[in-house]
């Protein structure tokens, strides 16, 4: 079945976007990425240090996976805009996963700084994929100023708490016209499947795979979960009932 994910006119066959953080080493990361089937993967921008580069860019290039730079670690709009501009210069892509977090304890998005940064980056010609809270109003505002997707969290980054407010996610998917990507909080395969069943167009995750006991196997599990959830969404689930309804004919 041909059912591509389309972001800013670009088609992807995989609806799983992955991060590269948290993997024990590059060989573990490579096996997990391949098993996940991802075609778009995030990297962070950091100072060059004496220890040299990590080799993650070469790995992604070799695997034919598109690079999606993020602005992780930025706390203000100004920092995020500069980081995005540096990423565009370094990686020759105008795509950016925009993250502007408020504090280290929660890593929750700062909505005021986020909206400001998104507006500036859209104006500067970027394809902006913003990591946002699960606030349906903020999601619509991000869409309206020209973001290519909206990426609400299921729960805080790295917690694995799954989707804490499924109704909010469904409110967002029911009103957004750009793809909705569930970003952050995924713990296991059922969380990813639920995101797709709620109408998300894709799932973005990192920790759930890279820090799993067997990252390669969890990568495969997430691929299956996203595909299964997408199929179930398209198939249309049965309504929930209070009383039983026999599926065999009466005697």
Any idea which residues carry the catalytic annotation? 97
Which residues have C-beta within 8 Å of that of residue 201, sequence separation ≥ 6? Answer: 5, 15, 149, 179, 180, 181
The answer to the question of residue 52 lying near other proteins (CB under 8 A) is yes
Q: How far is the CB of 171 from other proteins (least distance, A)?
A: 26
Per the annotation, does 158 bind a ligand?
A: yes
Looking at the Cβ atoms of 29 and 171, the one nearer to other proteins is: 29
Contact 200, 220 (CB under 8 A): no
Q: What are phi and psi of 146, to 5 degrees?
A: 110, 15
Per the annotation, does 184 bind a ligand?
A: yes
Looking at the Cβ atoms of 21 and 187, the one nearer to other proteins is: 21
Q: Are strands 5-7 and 10-12 parallel, antiparallel or unpaired?
A: antiparallel
Contact 220, 56 (CB under 8 A): no
Q: What are phi and psi of 90, to 5 degrees?
A: -75, -40
Q: How far is the CB of 247 from other proteins (least distance, A)?
A: 45
The answer to the question of residue 85 lying near other proteins (CB under 8 A) is yes
* Alpha-carbon separation of residue 181 from 7, 25, 169, 217, 236 (angstroms): 10, 27, 10, 22, 20
Residue with tokens 């990425």: 33
Q: How far is the CB of 71 from other proteins (least distance, A)?
A: 9
Sign of CA dihedral 81, 83, 114, 136: positive
Which tokens hold the place of 119? 């507006």
Residues in the chain: 251
Instruction: Report the residue from 5, 87, 117, 194 that binds other proteins according to the rule CB under 8 A.
Output: 87
The answer to the question of residue 212 lying near other proteins (CB under 8 A) is no
Instruction: Report the residue from 16, 32, 72, 196 that binds other proteins according to the rule CB under 8 A.
Output: 72
Q: How far is the CB of 49 from other proteins (least distance, A)?
A: 7
Q: C-alpha dihedral over 51, 54, 192, 175, to 10 degrees?
A: 100
Looking at the Cβ atoms of 147 and 151, the one nearer to other proteins is: 151
String marking each residue 103-132 x if it binds other proteins according to CB under 8 A: ------------------------------
Residues 8-27 touching other proteins, rule: CB under 8 A, are 19-23
Which residues have C-beta within 8 Å of that of residue 212, sequence separation ≥ 6? Answer: 218
Q: How far is the CB of 46 from other proteins (least distance, A)?
A: 5
> Residues marked as binding for 1-deoxy-D-xylulose 5-phosphate?
158, 184-185, 206-207
Can you give the binding site for other proteins, defined by CB under 8 A? 19-23, 29, 42-50, 52-54, 56-57, 67-70, 72, 82-83, 85-91, 97, 99, 206
> Residues marked as binding?
158, 184-185, 206-207
């Amino acid at each position: 079945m041909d059912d591509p994910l389309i972001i800013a006119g670009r088609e992807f066959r995989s609806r799983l976007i992955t991060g590269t953080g948290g993997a024990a080493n590059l060989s573990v990361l490579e096996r997990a990425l391949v098993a996940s089937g991802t075609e778009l993967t995030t990297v962070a921008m950091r100072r060059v240090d004496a220890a040299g580069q990590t080799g993650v860019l070469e790995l992604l290039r070799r695997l034919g996976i598109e690079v999606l730079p993020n602005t992780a670690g930025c706390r203000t709009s100004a920092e995020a805009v500069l980081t995005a501009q540096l990423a565009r210069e370094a990686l020759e892509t105008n795509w950016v996963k925009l993250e502007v977090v408020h504090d280290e304890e929660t890593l929750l998005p700062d909505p005021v700084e986020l909206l400001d940064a998104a507006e500036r980056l859209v104006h500067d010609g970027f394809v902006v994929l913003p990591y946002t809270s699960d606030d349906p109003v903020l999601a619509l505002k991000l869409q309206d100023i020209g973001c290519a997707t909206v990426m609400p969290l299921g729960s805080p980054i790295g917690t694995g708490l799954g989707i804490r407010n499924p109704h909010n996610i469904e409110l967002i998917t029911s009103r957004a016209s750009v793809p909705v990507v569930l970003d952050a909080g995924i713990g296991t395969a059922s969380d990813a499947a639920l995101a797709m069943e709620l109408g998300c167009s894709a799932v973005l995750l990192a920790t759930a795979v890279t820090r799993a006991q067997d990252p390669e196997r969890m990568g495969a599990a997430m691929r299956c979960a996203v595909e299964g959830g997408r199929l179930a969404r398209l198939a249309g689930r049965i309504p929930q009932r209070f009383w039983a309804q026999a599926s065999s004919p009466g005697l």
